[in-house]
Amino acid sequence: MENGRELIVMVDDDITNLNVARNNLVGKYNILTAPSGEKLFALLEKVTPDLILLDIEMPEMDGYKVIKKLKGVSKTSRIPIIFLTAKIDPENEVKGLNLGAVDYITKPFSRELLLKRIDLHLLVEKQKKELMKYNLDLQGEVGKQTSTVFELQNAILKTVAELVERRDSVTGGHIERTQNYLSMLVKYLLEHDVYIEELSSWDISLFIMSSQLHDVGKISIKDNILMKPGPLDKEEFEEMKKHTTFGVDIIKSIEQNTTENEFLNYAEVLAGSHHEKWDGTGYPYGLKGLEIPLQGRLMALVDVYDALTNDRPYKKAYSHEEALEIIKDGIGKHFDPSIIEVFVAHSGEFKAAAAGKNHSRDLYDRLNPVEKLGPTMQVIANIMDIRSGVESGHAEKLKSYLEILISTLMKHGDYSAEVSSWDIDNFLMSAQLHDLGKIAVADQILNKKGKLTEEEYNDIKNHADYGKKIIKQIQENANYSGLLQHAESIAGFHHEKWDGTGYPAGLKGEDIPLQGRLMAIIDVYDALTSDRPQRKRLPHHEAVEIIMNGSGSHFDPDLVTVFLECEKEFEGMLNS
């Protein structure tokens, strides 16, 4: 990196394009150009660039041949490559991305776009190298990358929690706003010495983060109740009230599958107590006064304040002043008087936050990061298991199957080089999000006991695309996350088939990313050997026979061979 600047190499047979690129990039980067693939490889014997801009349409050696050769040599395999092309064809774009390109830019390009894309991928590469530096020791790696992990952990929870909220038409941003209000409220309570002894004993970072799961029980409420535009009748309201105990049950089931329980303890208390009222008329337990956990009393206030100041299907938003009067009227009835006294004293700050004029996040931004991402993945995976009517721990079992298959695969030459380049812990953790898109599928389809109609099956198939989009949203919320580098491929391609008859893209053979081909075998094996709403589980030997019969049609034949070498280990895991 000469003079502190990254080195960019541009490859294009058009001299005009090379001159334009050089003029656009000079001054910010060190720039070298090559008029052909052959000249590029001669240049790479002397230098190793930080990024390559590669034209597709070149004589003798086109961009696809160049990238295959680059990815086949260890020295150049990790250099990020952006394709330059005069026209985008979706099929060719997928081909290029599968070969290892990180992006496409259409010519003619603007200087601003070119610089932004280069900046983004250099940042990604920098972060990736920093993560790889700590090898496969994820705990040590995360301990040294705490801000990135904390940001990602919150992005995952925020994205999924907001998807849960949107099932009952709650306006977007509810999760982020209530987190912000909680952060402000805790800060002001500490400043006023209100409940300071109890608050000082908390891990505030975990408390604020856990608030994203306060309504997770709504995942078990039927769509016709959650999405009803008008008022609920008495029977429907009684059903809706159950979301609190459903939430507690969901979180308890997750706690049984992880030792990282402090975060979940806060979440369980919040889920079960945020609809209790100071005078004992709330639900689900009818607790009164200080019997209600402080976490629930805090959440009750910020949840109501946000509901009052935003549109809902059954009402228009109240002004801050109107909401304040309603809350003051609830002192000693709905709300803890001591908490409301502090809230009223700082009502101006809450008004500014509600209007979007206060984005400082104050205490929330200064919280200590959490050291492990794994428990967050387990939370999301277990929510999806419950949503799909699958027994708790399903995602963790898939992760164990994958570990067996990859361990056996590493003994084979065909794929060992590619798999060796992965962060295996990262890959195994990302696999837990493979069915994340099912959160956007209606529950009457997910849990239907009979055969699906063609329309219903097409809706189910959309979960692969939904999953990719949700993971992209998580990455946008986190700005960048190398920790999810495999998740998008796993979620988007685990239903593709070797013969091209799968979905959502109809990819064929090695056009299907290896992550998706691996997950396809694991997902089918687990589905066959587990009870589902429409059928009973099959024994291990029948599942193995079905996978054998799918070799070359559904599954990568080489991977089926690997699976057959370790299928006894699968049987042992299944029976454990």
- Residues 78-95: tens digit of each pLDDT: 899 999 887 667 777 788
Asked if residue 64 lies in contact with residue 44, where contact means CB atoms within 8 angstroms, the answer is no
Asked if residue 12 lies in contact with residue 58, where contact means CB atoms within 8 angstroms, the answer is yes
- What pLDDT was estimated at residue 326? 96
CA-CA distance, 425 to 483, in Å (whole number)?
10
- What pLDDT was estimated at residue 63? 92
- What pLDDT was estimated at residue 2? 58
CA-CA distance, 426 to 430, in Å (whole number)?
6
Residue at which a domain ends, from 103, 133, 163? 133
Interacting residues of 13 by C-beta distance below 8 A, sequence separation 6+: 35, 36, 55, 58, 59
Asked if residue 132 lies in contact with residue 125, where contact means CB atoms within 8 angstroms, the answer is no
Asked if residue 391 lies in contact with residue 258, where contact means CB atoms within 8 angstroms, the answer is no
User: Is it the case that residue 368 has pLDDT exceeding 90?
Assistant: no
The answer to whether residue 169 is domain-embedded is yes
Claim to verify: residue 189 and residue 74 sit in the same structural domain: no
Kind of pairing, strands 81-85 and 7-11?
Answer: unpaired
Residue at which a domain ends, from 100, 133, 166? 133
Claim to verify: residue 60 and residue 87 sit in the same structural domain: yes
Claim to verify: residue 58 and residue 163 sit in the same structural domain: no
Claim to verify: residue 434 and residue 532 sit in the same structural domain: yes
- Tell me how far CA of residue 42 lies from CA of 6, 13, 49, 299, 510, in angstroms: 20, 15, 13, 64, 29
CA-CA distance, 336 to 277, in Å (whole number)?
8
Claim to verify: residue 477 and residue 534 sit in the same structural domain: yes
Asked if residue 405 lies in contact with residue 522, where contact means CB atoms within 8 angstroms, the answer is yes
Give the range with max mean pLDDT: 84-98, 258-272, 323-337, 343-357.
Answer: 323-337
Asked if residue 304 lies in contact with residue 333, where contact means CB atoms within 8 angstroms, the answer is no
Q: Stretch 205-216: mean pLDDT, rounded?
A: 85
3-state secondary structure (DSSP) of residue 494: coil
**Where would I find the H helices in 194-335?**
196-200, 204-210, 223-226, 234-241, 243-255, 262-273, 294-308, 320-329
| Cα angle for residues 546, 549, 554 (degrees, 5° grid) | 90
CA-CA distance, 235 to 500, in Å (whole number)?
49
User: Is it the case that residue 365 has pLDDT exceeding 80?
Assistant: no
Q: Is the sign of the CA dihedral 411, 413, 418, 421 positive or negative?
A: positive
- What pLDDT was estimated at residue 398? 83
Kind of pairing, strands 51-55 and 7-11?
Answer: parallel
> Percent of the chain at pLDDT above 70?
80
User: Is it the case that residue 404 has pLDDT exceeding 50?
Assistant: yes
- What pLDDT was estimated at residue 171? 45
How much is the mean pLDDT over the chain? 81
3-state secondary structure (DSSP) of residue 105: strand
Q: Stretch 495-515: mean pLDDT, rounded?
A: 94
The answer to whether residue 141 is domain-embedded is no
Q: At what angle do helices 174-191 and 146-166 cross, to 10 degrees?
A: 120
**CATH label of the domain that carries residue 21:** 3.40.50.2300
The answer to whether residue 140 is domain-embedded is no
The answer to whether residue 274 is domain-embedded is yes
CA-CA distance, 570 to 78, in Å (whole number)?
33
- What pLDDT was estimated at residue 531? 80
- What pLDDT was estimated at residue 210? 84
Token reading at 243: 């979301």
Claim to verify: residue 411 and residue 478 sit in the same structural domain: yes
Claim to verify: residue 292 and residue 330 sit in the same structural domain: yes
- Residues 239-293: tens digit of each pLDDT: 999 989 988 887 887 666 555 567 788 989 999 999 999 999 999 999 999 999 9
How many CB atoms lie under 10 A from the CB of residue 423?
Answer: 21
DSSP state, 366?
G
> Percent of the chain at pLDDT above 90?
36
Instruction: Select from 45, 125, 39 the least CA-distant residue to 81.
Output: 125
H helix or E strand, kind and range, residue 275: none
Asked if residue 215 lies in contact with residue 165, where contact means CB atoms within 8 angstroms, the answer is yes
3-state secondary structure (DSSP) of residue 396: helix
Claim to verify: residue 511 and residue 567 sit in the same structural domain: yes
* Structural domain count of the chain: 3
* Strand order from edge to edge, sheet including 7-11: 30-34, 7-11, 51-55, 81-85, 103-106
User: Is it the case that residue 120 has pLDDT exceeding 80?
Assistant: yes
Interacting residues of 119 by C-beta distance below 8 A, sequence separation 6+: none
The answer to whether residue 377 is domain-embedded is no
Claim to verify: residue 161 and residue 118 sit in the same structural domain: no
Asked if residue 114 lies in contact with residue 84, where contact means CB atoms within 8 angstroms, the answer is no
Claim to verify: residue 312 and residue 180 sit in the same structural domain: yes
The answer to whether residue 173 is domain-embedded is yes
Q: Omega of the bond prior to 513 within 30 degrees of 0, cis? A: no
Q: Domain residues for 167? A: 147-366
Residue with tokens 């070498």: 565
Token reading at 181: 């209000």
**CATH label of the domain that carries residue 394:** 1.10.3210.10
Asked if residue 145 lies in contact with residue 365, where contact means CB atoms within 8 angstroms, the answer is no
CA-CA distance, 315 to 317, in Å (whole number)?
7
Claim to verify: residue 506 and residue 405 sit in the same structural domain: yes
pLDDT band at 478 (very low <50, low <70, confident <90, very high): low
CA-CA distance, 496 to 96, in Å (whole number)?
18
- With 0-12 CB in 10 A as exposed, 13-18 as middle and 19+ as buried, what is 207? buried
Of 58 and 110, the one with more pLDDT: 58
CA-CA distance, 369 to 371, in Å (whole number)?
6
The answer to whether residue 81 is domain-embedded is yes
Claim to verify: residue 327 and residue 298 sit in the same structural domain: yes
Token reading at 118: 């280069």
- What pLDDT was estimated at residue 160? 57
CA-CA distance, 501 to 136, in Å (whole number)?
36
User: Is it the case that residue 447 has pLDDT exceeding 80?
Assistant: no
- What pLDDT was estimated at residue 258? 58
The answer to whether residue 37 is domain-embedded is yes
